[in-house]
Homo-oligomer: A and B are copies of this chain.
């Protein structure tokens, strides 16, 4: 397995923080800044990129230097260029890890990789969320206790229209009476994907110690064990054994 640290790129829509002073007060360096800072605490170097940069900061060159991409989007999913989405998707198929956060269940890139629309029931009344660890021995849960709380948070409730995940890591309990699969892994091509539910822009979720630990663990887990090259292609293969009777 890889010895070197994963090269992480944190992508953020970065619109709320520039338009809404309440969000800016919580995330003065942007949500991407808070996430990168949390990774730094856990010994991971991370670069950042945002929607309004050229090519959304997701050029071929930028992706070529990325082992794991973290994605946060919410109000501007439609502004993400389809060509960039496809570029990211092909890089995931080729082995890059992807961590989709919170409302990124509705991001083009996540829905394209899942095949479904990943719809969910939601409520932004600000309530208590308690994340229970279902897979205590999974690398993504390393160092956590049996559960941790976030308060307040937005609610996402089942049914959550994702394909059956490969592994279920977290289940969330909400004060208002709902539950949701809040930490799920998927494989697409050679790439490992982790969806993690928390992180509404109006709450300081990405400063939370448990959340930061989860994200650092997830970056290490999603980092490819292979050299990321090209997405697989349909290929003619010659017979190894003689054909015919």
Question: A-side interface residues toward B, CB under 8 Å?
Answer: 1, 93, 95, 106, 112-117, 119-123, 125-128, 130, 132-139, 142, 146, 155, 157-161, 163-164, 166-168, 171-179, 181, 186-192, 217, 220-221, 224-226, 231-244
Contacts and interface: CB of A to CB of B under 8 A. Distances in A.
Given A164-B166, A177-B239, 4 more contacts: A106-B234, A119-B233, A123-B236, A171-B179
A100 B78 CA distance: 30
A113 B114 CA distance: 7
Given A168-B168, A188-B115, A226-B137, A132 B158 contact: yes
User: What is the count of identical protomers in the complex?
Assistant: 4
A237 B113 CA distance: 26
Given A119-B232, A137-B224, A234-B119, A240 B159 contact: no
A136 B178 CA distance: 16
B176 A240 contact: yes
A192 to B, nearest CB: 7
A157 B132 contact: yes
Contacts of A179: 132, 171-173, 179
A112 B114 CA distance: 9
Contacts of A130: 177, 240
Given A179-B179, A241-B177, A220 B1 contact: yes
Contact of A117 (B93, B106, B241): B93
Contacts of A236: 121-123
Contacts of A127: 239, 243-244
Contacts of A115: 112-115, 163, 188
Contacts of A157: 132, 237
Contact of A134 (B114, B166, B181, B188): B181
A163 B177 contact: no
30 contacts: A1-B142, A1-B221, A93-B117, A93-B161, A95-B137, A117-B233, A119-B231, A123-B236, A126-B243, A127-B239, A134-B159, A134-B181, A135-B159, A137-B192, A139-B225, A146-B158, A155-B237, A159-B232, A163-B163, A163-B187, A164-B166, A164-B167, A166-B166, A166-B167, A168-B168, A168-B181, A171-B171, A175-B244, A176-B241, A176-B242
